[in-house]
Amino acid sequence: MPQPTALIAEDEPLLANALRQALQRTWPELEAPHMAANGIEALEQSLALLPDVLLLDIRMPGRSGLEVARELADAWPAGRPFPLIVFVTAYDNYAVEAFERAAVDYLLKPVNDARLGATVARLKALLDQRAAGSQDEHLERALAQLRRLASPDTTEAEAQPAARLDIIRAAVGNQVRMIPVSDVIYFEATDKYVNVVTADGQALIRTSLRELIPQLDAQQFWQVHRGTVVQVRHVQAAVRDEAGKMSLVLRNRSEKLAVSRLFSHLFKQM
């Protein structure tokens, strides 16, 4: 079996070097880990190097560790084993509970050798299982963990329920349109705005998708990509191309909406 490879994504150089040295002590057969200083570098280097293990800081400039993991799930090349992911975080009760609920391994800063040793033992066992098992099974297990991390904590949601949105105030030229949410076909994130698409046209709002989603009826509006939320009644079919990529065909619309791997389970046959 070839030497396992790893990538450390951490924006604080002292912590990154300390983690690298600790890994070399606790896992000497691991190839010297590559380093990424922010979330964008982590994404780019992961796709270039295709490491076996990723250690992702939760809070990084450019992309958070969770955002990197979710984007990799969609962009990872077919036929290549998806990496084992360990999230690194400062002590935070909510984050730790979320990781434990999703059965994702995590390390608390500052990382100590004893805790890292337990993580290394688990990673070695998982790498052995991955070598003996199906790549599809491993990817689906990783996607299931990321979906659970994407789900809001129920106690937090109950403590601070988001008000249901009925009307959207959106900019169209020098006007502000009042758009009933029921008229929306889909929402699409752009660089700084969200594009609201209806049968009558398009309009922009400054609210992010992250802020918008809790205000929508989850039975009616499904997130199908990191930048797309669609009203389900406007979906005619979900189709896969020859490369296995899924997209949605909309009723009375010519465009198709891409579906990421993270959300493709929504369209499995019942």
Which residue stretches of 27-112 are H helix? 39-49, 65-75, 93-101
**pLDDT tens figures, 49-91:** 999 999 999 999 999 999 999 999 989 988 888 999 999 988 6
Provide the whole-model pTM: 0.79
The domain locations on the chain are 6-156, 167-267
Tell how strand 184-189 and strand 194-198 pair up.
antiparallel
Which residues are CB-contacts of 255 (< 8 A; sequence separation ≥ 6)?
none
Preceding omega of 180 cis (within 30 degrees of 0): no
pLDDT (average), residues 176-205:
94
**DSSP-assigned letters across all residues of 214-255:** GGS-TTTEEEEETTEEEEGGGEEEEEE-TT--EEEEETT-S-
Assign domain 6-156 one CATH number from 3.40.50.300, 3.40.50.2300, 1.10.10.60, 3.30.390.10: 3.40.50.2300
